């Protein structure tokens, strides 16, 4: 047994997120609760990272915590509003990549290699020389390189490895040692667990180690790579967590998609749902007050779907053989 990694969300953010850090936030396994805790802690000069960056990442831009984003898709820029304005007026610097690029860059970071080749981006305008020094960018000509394979001369794009200072992720369950299990489609989260220098995970449930050890194939990161585990039911709300709850599209329509419309809309949202609550438990209590228990019941995942034929990771404990 190692020392417990279990702590409160504010302690995890205070101890492991520093001003100036690059922070993987992602889109799937979205750690809404941890992102709101970062905003509450008033961190500064952060960079947000994710193949796609969901609305929880935009909390970091809108609150002034982050002023850089490295991504292929910024959900908050989908509609006209202040995030688009910030990207156009330079107050939010960005590097345009893609889902595949960020996923591969995290993988390269995790593998400890300096770059990784891709065939994506060939033939696109992203590679045009005059776009490499973009006024909205911050990486300059270190963003990527066009190369030929040393083996067969084929063209490819070399993407730089990415090692975020910290990753904030949400998952289904963990034990106190920080062994994390997640299931369902994972987007680029899988490699963020391995690429980030510090990993902070919020989970729906804390379970005994024996539960994880009975199904180790579902573990996405062992505890020795995890800095902090936070027990946070509904930590991904208003996005989803497979087996627990779906996206809360109603809440998103009423709040998330409107907050980029104006500074006032953002401030009203932040005052009520971020600064107005102490932590995620307070947020969920407030959700119940405003929308009733039905807001949570309506997104709850169906139970009892486990098909017959569970897997046992068995082995021959009384192994006998002849040489």
Partner 1 sequence: MTHAEDYTLAELMCVVAARSFPAKGVVMLGMGLPVLAGTLAKLMHAPGISLCTEVGAFDWTPPEGLTRAPIGIHDMLLNDGSAMVSDMVDALGTLLMGGNVDLGVLGAAQVDRMGNLNTLVLGDYRQPERRLGGTGGNTEIACLARSLLTMMPQERRRFVERVDFNTSPCYITGPGSRRQAGLQPSGPNRVVSTFGVFGFDTPDGGETGSCEMVLEAVFPNMDPDIVKLETGWNLRIADEVSELEPPTVEEIALLRRLDPHGFYLVPGRY
| Contacting positions for partner 1 (CB under 8 A) | 27-28, 51-52, 71-75, 77-78, 80, 84, 87-88, 96, 98-100, 103-104, 107, 118-126, 131, 134-136, 154-156, 183-191, 239-243, 245-247, 249, 301, 305
Residue 132 CB, nearest approach to partner 1 (Å): 11
Residue 165 CB, nearest approach to partner 1 (Å): 21
Q: For the beta carbon of residue 67, count every other beta carbon within 10 angstroms.
A: 19
Residue 73 CB, nearest approach to partner 1 (Å): 4
- Helices of type H across 139-230: 189-195, 209-213
Closest to 78 in 3D by CA, of 268, 266, 264, 260 = 260
Query: What's the token pair of residue 75?
Result: 């959900």
Nearer to partner 1, 5 or 202 (CB): 202
Length of the chain: 323
Nearer to partner 1, 10 or 84 (CB): 84
Nearer to partner 1, 22 or 58 (CB): 58
Distance between CA 235 and CA 29 in Å, rounded? 9
Residue 15 CB, nearest approach to partner 1 (Å): 28
Nearer to partner 1, 78 or 285 (CB): 78
Nearer to partner 1, 146 or 214 (CB): 146
Nearer to partner 1, 244 or 283 (CB): 244
Residue 39 CB, nearest approach to partner 1 (Å): 22
Hey, what long-range contacts does 124-128 have (CB within 8 A, 24 or more apart)? 126/96, 127/157
Give the DSSP per-residue string, 41-88. Answer: HT--SEEEEEEEE-HHHHHHHHTTSEEEEEEEEEGGGSSSSHHHHHHH
Query: What's the token pair of residue 303?
Result: 């139970």
Nearer to partner 1, 13 or 76 (CB): 76
Q: Is 103 helix (H, G, I), strand (E, B) or coil?
A: helix
Residue 83 CB, nearest approach to partner 1 (Å): 8
Closest to 105 in 3D by CA, of 90, 120, 83 = 120
Residue 11 CB, nearest approach to partner 1 (Å): 29
Strands (E), the chain: 22-24, 46-53, 66-74, 93-96, 115-118, 145-148, 155-160, 166-174, 180-181, 198-206, 219-221, 228-231
């Amino acid at each position: 047994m190692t020392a417990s990694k279990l702590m409160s969300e504010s302690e995890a953010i205070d101890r492991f997120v520093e001003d100036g850090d690059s922070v993987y936030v992602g889109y799937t396994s979205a750690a809404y609760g941890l992102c709101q805790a970062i905003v509450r802690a008033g961190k500064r000069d952060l960079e947000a990272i994710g193949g796609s960056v969901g609305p929880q990442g935009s909390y970091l831009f809108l609150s002034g915590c982050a002023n850089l984003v490295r991504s292929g898709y910024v959900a908050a820029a989908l509609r006209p509003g202040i995030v688009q304005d910030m990207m156009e007026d330079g107050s939010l610097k960005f590097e345009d990549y893609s889902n595949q690029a960020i996923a591969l860059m995290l993988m390269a970071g995790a593998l400890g290699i300096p770059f990784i080749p891709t065939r994506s981006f060939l033939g696109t305008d992203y590679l045009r020389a005059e776009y490499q020094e973009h006024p909205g960018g911050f990486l300059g000509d270190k963003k990527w390189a066009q190369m030929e394979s040393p083996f067969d001369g084929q063209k490819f794009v070399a993407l730089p490895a990415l090692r975020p200072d910290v990753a904030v992720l949400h998952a289904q369950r963990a034990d106190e040692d920080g062994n994390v299990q997640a299931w369902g489609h994972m987007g680029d989260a899988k490699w963020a667990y391995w690429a980030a220098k510090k990993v902070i995970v919020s989970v729906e449930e804390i379970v005994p180690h024996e539960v994880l050890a009975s199904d180790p194939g579902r573990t996405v990161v062992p505890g020795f790579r995890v800095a902090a585990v936070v027990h946070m039911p509904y930590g991904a709300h208003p996005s989803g967590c497979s087996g627990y709850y779906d996206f809360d599209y109603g809440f998103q329509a009423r709040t998330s998609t409107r907050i980029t419309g104006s500074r006032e809309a953002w401030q009203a949202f932040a005052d009520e749902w971020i600064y107005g609550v102490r932590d995620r438990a307070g947020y969920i209590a407030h959700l119940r007050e405003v929308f009733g228990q039905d807001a949570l019941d309506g997104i709850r995942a169906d139970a009892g779907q486990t098909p017959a034929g569970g897997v046992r990771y068995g082995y021959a404990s009384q192994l006998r053989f002849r040489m």
